[in-house]
Structure 1
Amino acid sequence: MSNVEQSIDVDVPLSIAYNQWTQFESFPEFMEGVESVTQLTETRNRWVTEIGGQTREFVTEITEQHPDERIAWTTVEGDLKQSGVVTFHYLEENKTRVMIQLDWDPEGAAEKIGSALGVDSKRVKGDAERFKTFIEGRGLETGGWRGDVS
């Protein structure tokens, strides 16, 4: 199992950062390798990714979600095993720290070597930086879901 942790400070209020992160279908706009995310229910999403020339499809289930605090998930079907949590931390009125923790199970030699070389960490860092550019450039979220999942 590989573990990736990354944080980034974004210059928007906490609720805007959180609300945007609940808009899973917008993830391809700032996440490298994410081809599409389709929201199936309030807590399930189907992902299509392209990693190292290989297409992967999987479904995630939100296992915990508390507005303006955290979103946690795990895969429930498909060919990629992962779980993670994103937490949101108030720094100032217009500054929020977004912390990403991701655990995933690389399969095959290429993914294992890539993980050992830190390719997954670099990708998550790039995704966090693109999220910062995306949300700061907009100034407002594209939507938001404020539901609570325990």
Structure 2
Amino acid sequence: MSTVKETVEVEVPVHTAYNQWTQFEQFPQFMEGVEEVRQLDDRHNHWTTKIGGVKREFDTEIVDQLPDERITWRTVGGEAQQKGSVRFERVDDTHTRVELVMDIEPGGMVEKGADALGMIDRRVKGDMRRFKDYIEHRGDETGAWRGRIRPGDPGQTH
């Protein structure tokens, strides 16, 4: 399993950065290789990715979510396994530090090769830079979900 960690400082208030990150269906706007994310309910998302010519679909489950602080998730089923957390730290009224940490177990040969060459690490770092550009250019979030999910909570729907 590989661990990828990247931190960016964005020039928006913490609630704006957090609110935008809860808009999972907007991820293709700044995440390379992510074709679609469909939010199934408050805890679950269905992802379609295409990386190195290999198309994958998988589901993720949010296991912990605290507004303006963190979102933690894991994959559910699928070939490639991952879990991660994104944390939001207020720097001042107009700046936020966003830290992403992911543990990735590549599934197929293409993913294992990409990981060995450091491509996954570079992609995540690029995604974080693109998130910074995306939210700073917009200046505000495209939406928000301010609910609280605790580990062990039953699934919830909108």
Residue pair 2:59, 2:78 contacting (<8 A) in 1 also = yes
What is the CA distance between 1:112 and its match in structure 2? 1.9
Residue pair 2:80, 2:108 contacting (<8 A) in 1 also = no
What is the CA distance between 1:26 and its match in structure 2? 0.1
| Residue in structure 2 matched with residue 146 of structure 1 by the alignment | 146
Q: So what's the TM-score if we normalise by structure 1?
A: 0.97
* Aligned mates of 1:110, 1:41 — CA distance in 2: 31
Alignment of 1:77-88 (within 5 A): 77-88=77-88
Deviations 1:11-32, CA, capped at 9 Å, x for gaps: 0000000000000000000000
| Residue in structure 2 matched with residue 121 of structure 1 by the alignment | 121
* Aligned mates of 2:28, 2:97 — CA distance in 1: 21
SS of structure 1 residue aligned to 2:72: strand
* Aligned mates of 1:37, 1:109 — CA distance in 2: 24
Alignment of 1:69-148 (within 5 A): 69-148=69-148
Deviations 1:71-115, CA, capped at 9 Å, x for gaps: 000011223211100000111111000000011111333322221
| Residue in structure 2 matched with residue 15 of structure 1 by the alignment | 15
C-alpha distance 37-134 of structure 1, shift in aligned 2 (>3 A) = same
C-alpha distance 149-14 of structure 1, shift in aligned 2 (>3 A) = same
1:6 matched to 2:6: yes
* Aligned mates of 2:149, 2:84 — CA distance in 1: 15
Gaps of 5+ in 2: 151-158
* Aligned mates of 2:106, 2:44 — CA distance in 1: 22
SS of structure 1 residue aligned to 2:77: strand
Structure 1 runs of 4+ with >6 Å offset: none
Indicate the percent of aligned positions where both proteins have the same amino acid: 54
Q: So what's the TM-score if we normalise by structure 2?
A: 0.92
